[in-house]
Structure 1
Amino acid sequence: MKVSIIGVTGYGGMELVCLLLKHPEVEIISLHSHSQSGKTVNEVLPQLKKLIDLPIKTIDTKQIMKNAELVFLATPSGVSKTIASDFIAAEFPMIDLSGDFRLKEPVQYEKWYKNSSVQENYLEKFDYGLADIKSEYAKKFIANPGCYATGTLLSLAPLVQTTNIDVNSIIVDGKSGLSGAGKNLTETSHFVAVNENMSLYKMNSHQHIPEVIQQLKEWNQEISAIQFSTSLIPVTRGIFITTYVKSKQLFENGEVEKLFRTFYQDNYFVRVQDPGSYPSLKQVIGSNFCDIGVAYNPATKIITVVTVLDNLVKGAAGQAIQNLNKLAGWPEELGLKMCPMYI
């Protein structure tokens, strides 16, 4: 399949190029950027020298549709929606890595993203691409989930769909490496602010909150809100999420772990840990795996779920390729069997 990538110079776009170069069924035929057009990809991304040598072109949607079979948008939220309109109008297959098409209610997008939404009829054309849950896609357009949303939803999916939990007890504590903030420098992303430090950000206001709740409500209509906090930790990449949920029933020893293992038994990229074992960031960095460990405290009836993923792979480019595989009818692991960079 011939594909084009728009937004190639951001972290998500860079990761997408690297991963697609390993895909046996994909040929990258064009790369596009607003800010770096006119240069070669090797000038902007020297790490790709001898791997790919294409010019970075301006964004010409008609030319892209003439030459490619699918386009990836790795552009920021607020930018994708403008570029996407031509592809949507032409029914040209597209996978968008931004947040512009994830929320089905325009008012929610405007509230959480502080920007105007696309028209509602465009939003209806997109499938929400939580690849490890969605079995197949009926539409040509996929809204790739956010990184925190991916980890949170995979943490909660077995619980909210199959057990008797207190829906008002859900607490999510997420921690992310600096690459999750993108390439634009801010005062809080300077080395001196991040190194040997940990800081909480976007308390009760993270843009992935409505995305998570939207999907949770599809699984369980009783859920209306969750407590969700995010912190920045001094690592380059990776997300570490600890989720707490109170059960209404008393579980037998090992029953919760068995629930997760059964739920994800056919999922290649979700690895449930052995009882008493909990994942670390290093065991998933550089891979498309999401690793989950589960604990249950019978004294408090609290279920604790520990989830780790690479925000640039499973949380962005890797999941986008997993979605491409599903859209094309290929095995979902095709081109994604990467060993984590443990050292």
Structure 2
Amino acid sequence: MRICLLGDTHGNIDEGMKNITYNLSKRLMKRHDVLVLNPLDFASASFWRQLREFKPDIIHYIPGPSLRSFILMKLISYFTKHSVKHRPRLVMSTPLPQLSKFSMQVISKIKAKPDVMLVQSKKHLEIFQKLGFNVHLFPLYGVDTEKFIPVDNKRKKELRARYGFNEDTFVLLHVGHIKSGRNILSLTSLEGRDSIHLVIVGSTSTDVEKKVYTELKKAGSTVITEYIPHIEELYQLSDCYIFPTMSKNNSIVVPLSVLEAMSCNLPVITTKFGALPEIFVSGDGLFFIEREEEIYKALETIREKGITVKTREKVLLYSWENIVKRLEDVYEELLHY
């Protein structure tokens, strides 16, 4: 197949939608011809020239969606209809929907429907079904289970020494954007309590909110703002992963950092964010919380009761290899429909 992925892979791959585009393209390229175009470059002649010359069978818009992405797909549909001998199948996914009621009305009026919408939550399945879209509930999220692996205590100690963390400290990790919407400032009350040390690793793909950064540093937490090529090592040296985000617009529907932590078999404490409760059941080291007060209780359970952690077993189904195989089946079905 000739597959055109619309998504951003420029710069550091330390943001959710970049991560998805990069990992899909990397694995699809092993068996197919793949062209990756950044939808932000749609105003350039090069974007349209490459699209025409590539003659794709599949065009898959990965980020968003937003009103602009639907308009762009409408333009692409018109463009390919008149410049490519065969009509490519159009696919859209919903890792971070940004659609107002007004946007929905516009989308329905301009009839900007792809051949299939791959949605990542039951909520969005219902929304797009009501709009008359051909919708599949599809897990367009994953983790590199060969990169994010558990390590033994010896390796953990080595990593702690390398990164400058005390062996006796209980490292509580969060990876993601350093901004108020992630609710990470709620964790500062844990800093220093019962040897807990909060480590925040930010994304270089988005701006750091100075106020949040300052408050975290003031509390004594470690805040890393530079790009970490081997981010798996930060998970491997940690004792627990925390995802306290509640606001829906501050992460993709299934936060990849949660999957990465689980793949390293860390205990994970997370809010019932997005589609996480739809794909995982609590237990075996995975704790769902609804209020901030429940975080410390979960930490006590992890530290004092010596629970058996099996979070890696829960996430193996979502290896990028498995996801890409399922995605290839969707593409093939579209082409033979």
Structure whose residues are more often helix by fraction: 2
Shorter-chain-normalised TM-score: which range? 0.3 to 0.5
**Greater radius of gyration (CA):** 2
TM-score normalized by the length of structure 2:
0.38
TM normalised by structure 1 equals: 0.37
| Greater strand content | 1
